[in-house]
Chain A
Amino acid sequence: KAGVTQTPRYLIKTRGQQVTLSCSPISGHRSVSWYQQTPGQGLQFLFEYFSETQRNKGNFPGRFSGRQFSNSRSEMNVSTLELGDSALYLCASSQKASSYEQYFGPGTRLTVT
């Protein structure tokens, strides 16, 4: 099976812009979780989607949003970008829920200038 894929791999944006990141899970996986990874804060949970429904959300401002499509692909959107949003954004897919094995994608490296 193909692994989790994320596009784009690298992005450079300026403050105030918005960005959309995409994640395609492993075939047959219905759960997609998103994480923000920074050197100072480690891996922080953003949200999880299962069957097009958001099941859980982390402590991030409303500028961070997401959705999941019927084919389980997921997108994450960040509006009004701030310098502090610069990070590696990882998605992970799981067959059922995040309490089962999660497999990570390669991440999207977002730089906000």
Chain B
Amino acid sequence: GENVEQHPSTLSVQEGDSAVIKCTYSDSASNYFPWYKQELGKRPQLIIDIRSNVGEKKDQRIAVTLNKTAKHFSLHITETQPEDSAVYFCAASPSYKLSFGAGTTVTVRA
């Protein structure tokens, strides 16, 4: 089955700096790669996703890149703000199942 590894497990950044989270996947059939943000005590929320026919996607301060050859994808958050503090999960899906990374706890220091 699909195995998704996510790094780092914790990330502390100064407000205004950038944050980068990296994930690797094992199943070359995976074609959908979403990212979720989960604030404390709340449900995971889809923040951005990318499909295997696209190399990069951007939405305001967040962007995701995908390297199919190397089987890795990354989340980039620019100009971080205190409200970006949360746990971020990457995931990969070959078909009917999402496999999640272990999560990255991002703390934005004011």
Contact = CB atoms under 8 A, between A and B. Distances in A.
A102 B43 contact: no
Dominant secondary structure of chain A at its interface with chain B = strand
Contact of B101 (A33, A42, A45): A42
Interface string A50-67: 100001101000000000
A79 B85 CA distance: 37
Contacts of B49: 101
A44 B100 CA distance: 7
Interface in B66-110: 89, 93-103
A25 interface: no
B100 A99 contact: no
Contact of B97 (A56, A103, A104, A106): A56
A75 interface: no
Interface string A75-99: 0000000000000001000000111
Interface in B15-72: 31-32, 34, 36, 42-46, 49
B97 A98 contact: yes
B44 A104 contact: yes
A35 B44 CA distance: 11
The residue in A42, A50, A58, A101 that gathers the most chain B C-beta atoms within 10 A of its C-beta is A42
A45 B89 contact: no
A48 B97 CA distance: 7
Given A99-B93, A99-B95, A43 B100 contact: yes
Contact of A106 (B43, B98, B100, B103): B43
Given A42-B103, A43-B89, A98 B43 contact: no
Interface of A: 33, 35, 42-45, 48, 50, 55-56, 58, 90, 97-107
Interface of B: 31-32, 34, 36, 42-46, 49, 89, 93-103
22 contacts: A35-B100, A42-B100, A42-B102, A43-B89, A45-B99, A45-B100, A56-B96, A58-B97, A90-B44, A97-B95, A98-B93, A98-B98, A99-B32, A99-B94, A99-B95, A99-B96, A100-B32, A101-B49, A102-B98, A104-B43, A104-B45, A107-B43
